[in-house]
A = this chain, B = another copy of it.
């Protein structure tokens, strides 16, 4: 297996010009695309339709390019490009033709995808979602040939939310949903998904987990989970990024954990470890510290009734990481429940080895 990652800027959520140009230039083979991670310029909250618009445009383009086989591509669009963040797509490709260039003792980037079944409204934000996500992570690892949890460096999960319609329908049927607040449901869904990742990777003890832990026990978390909620799906889609000895090619991935929103050193440590490699993409999660404090200083993100706290957090983390890596076209997604420590979050970096005759 050989995995590649390429970024393309978007002038609007539905802009396929850049993608089309890459394909026409032979730099992207549409039939090898397995997943797309997008940053779209909506509010990243409940009524953000830029995510669905981007998926719709991408799906139409890929179907035009490769036909029915495009149906298996996994799209994860994360809304919100606050501050300096640049709207763009990160496209993951995978091919099975081995190349001769990779050395046998070097692990290379391996990407696996899987998805759960559709969830019932009453399952969202609870143990059922958590467990099925955990199973999907293990399945995606197998698919990617990643053997050890320590070789997993980023797990992106796209998960559903509860819309007003769904909540009312559930009420009519006497079903008990985790919250009647659409916005809050995004947090529960992200939290359950992240703990699902943690369970799969042995970061938490499955035997002790209950519904009550979800969005409560902040000391339980995954250091590599990145989960994002949207109204455009009813299941969870899982993309596992890791390094595998069975994979080849010049790409590889590493991760660190940001302890808080201004912990740029986390990314700096990764970059400093690979002075000769080209940084291809940064993937990170952001959240407003639920304690109301960052470095013992009060922040106002949680009390701001005009701007959602996830929007504040993305602006900060996007700025800090863009400074460290020198590029605002990175993937920073909001709402980091159980993704890294409270107020912090995972950050991963994908590199391309230098001196590699690709």
> Which residues of A does B touch, CB under 8 Å?
9, 11-14, 41-43, 45-50, 52-53, 56-57, 60, 81-87, 163-165, 168, 181-184, 231, 261-264, 291-292, 294-295, 297-308, 311-313, 315-320, 322-323, 326-329
Q: Which residue, A86, A231, A312, has most C-beta atoms of chain B within 10 A?
A: A312
CB-CB nearest 10 A-B residue pairs: A45-B305, A316-B319, A315-B315, A83-B316, A86-B297, A262-B323, A164-B292, A53-B53, A319-B319, A306-B306
Q: Nearest chain B CB to A329's CB is how many angstroms away? A: 5
Task: Determine if A53 and B165 form an interchain contact, defined as CB atoms under 8 angstroms apart.
Answer: no
CB within 8 A of A328: which of B14, B56, B294?
B294
Task: Determine if A85 and B299 form an interchain contact, defined as CB atoms under 8 angstroms apart.
Answer: yes
CB within 8 A of A295: which of B60, B163, B326?
B326
* Chain A interface, DSSP helix/strand/loop, else mixed: loop
Task: Determine if A43 and B328 form an interchain contact, defined as CB atoms under 8 angstroms apart.
Answer: no
Are A298 and B11 also in contact (CB < 8 A) when A50-B49, A163-B303, A318-B316 are? yes
CB within 8 A of A53: which of B56, B164, B295?
B56
CA distance A186 to B318 in the complex (A): 27
CA distance A328 to B48 in the complex (A): 23
CB within 8 A of A14: which of B53, B182, B315, B319?
B53
Task: Determine if B49 and A13 form an interchain contact, defined as CB atoms under 8 angstroms apart.
Answer: yes
CB within 8 A of A303: which of B47, B295, B298, B326?
B47
CA distance A168 to B290 in the complex (A): 10
Q: Nearest chain B CB to A266's CB is how many angstroms away? A: 11
Are A295 and B262 also in contact (CB < 8 A) when A53-B49, A164-B303 are? no
Task: Determine if B308 and A305 form an interchain contact, defined as CB atoms under 8 angstroms apart.
Answer: yes
Provide a sorted-by-A list of 20 A–B residue pairs whose CB atoms are within 8 angstroms: A11-B298, A43-B306, A45-B305, A47-B304, A49-B49, A52-B53, A53-B56, A82-B307, A83-B312, A83-B315, A84-B299, A85-B299, A181-B184, A182-B303, A295-B327, A297-B327, A306-B306, A307-B307, A316-B316, A320-B323
CA distance A85 to B304 in the complex (A): 13
Are A294 and B84 also in contact (CB < 8 A) when A53-B49, A319-B316 are? yes
Which residue on chain B has the smallest CB distance to residue A183?
Answer: B305
Q: Which chain B residues lie closer than 8 Å to A43 at the CB level?
A: 305-306
Q: Nearest chain B CB to A61's CB is how many angstroms away? A: 12
Q: Which chain B residues lie closer than 8 Å to A301 at the CB level?
A: 83-84
CA distance A349 to B85 in the complex (A): 27
Q: Which chain B residues lie closer than 8 Å to A311 at the CB level?
A: 307
Task: Determine if A264 and B323 form an interchain contact, defined as CB atoms under 8 angstroms apart.
Answer: yes
Task: Determine if B328 and A82 form an interchain contact, defined as CB atoms under 8 angstroms apart.
Answer: no
CA distance A182 to B301 in the complex (A): 12
CA distance A308 to B263 in the complex (A): 26
Are A168 and B292 also in contact (CB < 8 A) when A9-B298, A53-B56 are? yes
Which residue on chain B has the smallest CB distance to residue A45?
Answer: B305
CA distance A11 to B297 in the complex (A): 11
Q: Which chain B residues lie closer than 8 Å to A81 at the CB level?
A: 299-300
Task: Determine if A329 and B14 form an interchain contact, defined as CB atoms under 8 angstroms apart.
Answer: no
Are A298 and B261 also in contact (CB < 8 A) when A43-B305, A164-B303 are? no
